[in-house]
Structure 1
Amino acid sequence: MEFARPLPSYLVQRYHGWKATAYKENQGWYRRLATEGQRPRAMVISCCDSRVHVTSIFGADQGEFFIHRNIANLVPPYQPDGDHHGTSATIEYAVTVLKVSHLIVLGHSQCGGVQGCIDMCHGHAPALEAKESFVGRWMDILKPKFELVRDIEDPEVQARQFERQAVVASLENLMTFPFVASAVEAGSMSLHGLWTDIGEGGLECYDPKADKFQKV
C-alpha cells in the first residue's frame, strides 16, 4: 500500500494527551468494555456532518450508543438484493444481535445533503443527477418527500422542514425491515425521530399523532 501516510502530528499529540488523561483515569472501564463486549441501550443513525456530535448532545459514555452515520441520516427501504448495504447491515446488527431498546434517527439544521436534494429537485444540481454520483443516488431516497415542502416559498424554512422530513422518511423506511417491525410491534424496541438545531442547541422530537416535531 503506497498511498497510506503517517498520522498528522496534531492527531498524534491529541492521542497521547487522551491516553495520559482520560484513558488513564478510566482504565478499568475501558478494559471492562474490551473484555465484556458492548451492550448499547440505543442505536443512533445520524448525519456524517462533523458539527453533529451525538455523544456530546446526550452526554453519553463509551459503550452506551451504537452509532451509524451517513449523508443526511437516511435509511433506505428494506431491499435484500445482494448488493452492499452499509446502513442496512448496521441496523440488522443493532436490532438482531445487540438487541438495542431504542433506535433513534437524528437529523439536523443546515444539512448539506438535504440541501443537495433540494437543488436536485429544482433542477440546479446536474452533477448530483449523474448516474455515477453516489451522493445523488443516495439522496434519491429522500426525493419523494419534496412534494410535502415544494410550495414553501422561503428557502430557509423549506430547508428546515425538509430536514425534518428526512427523519420521517427514515422512520418510515425502518418499518419496512421485518426484524425492526417485529421488535417494535413486540414492544422490545422503540423508534424515535429527532432534529437538532446546530446553532441554537435545540432538540425536537417527532410526534406521529400530531405529525410534527415538538421541542424536547
Structure 2
Amino acid sequence: MSGWAIRGELILNCNCTVFCPCVVSLGKHPPTEGYCQAWAGVRIDEGHYEGEDLSGLNVGLVLEIPGLMARGNWKAAAYIDERASEAAYDGLIKIFSGQAKGTTGLFRVLVSEFLGAERAPVSYTNEGKKRRLIVGKAIKGEVEPVRGANPDEDIVVKNTEYWMGSDITVATATQGRVRAYGRVWDFDGRSAEICQIDWSGPAAEAAA
C-alpha cells in the first residue's frame, strides 16, 4: 500500500473573536486580530503511510501565522501520539510538515519555521458533542458546536474550498490553553472549528 491517507476528524481553536474568516476567504481576509495563533488536534480513524498503519493515532499541532494565511511565514510544531511506531512517527512528521505532499503539501510552502516535533501523550476524546484534546502539559483544549435554531443540528459552512475539508462545523472553545515553545495562550470562548477529514498523498518516490 503506497502513498498515504488519513480519515478522521480535526478540531481547531484560534485567537479569532468570531468564526475564522480564513475558512470562506481562503486566507485572503486577515484573522480578526490581524494575526493567527492556534492549536489543533487530529484524530485518525483510518490511515496509513507507505503501508504503515496510522489508525487510532492522534496528533496535536501548534500554529502561528503573522498575517494573511495565504502569505505564509507560518511557524508550526507537531506532537505525535506516543503510541506511534517509529515508522508511523516518521510518516506523520512527513505528512504534517508537508514533505509527503498531497493534501498537506502546502505546509512545505507556507511554514517557514518548523519549531519542532516530539512524541507526547495525545488524547482526543468525545463527550456528547464536545471534543477534548489534551497533549501532555502543552495543550488543553475543548470545543463544542455553536448552538443553532435547531439544537439537534449543527451550524455547518458547506461546500467551501478550505484545504482541510469542504464542510466546517462552526464551534467555540470552552477551553483553549497552550503552553509550548515559549507560547502562553488562552483562547477560551474564541473561534473553533470541527472538520471531518479525508486527506491523501502520493507514494514516497513521487513526493521526493
Q: TM-score, normalised by structure 1?
A: 0.25
Q: Looking at secondary structure, tell me which structure has more strand per residue.
A: 2
Higher relative contact order (CA 8 A, sep 6+): 2
Bigger radius of gyration among the two? 1
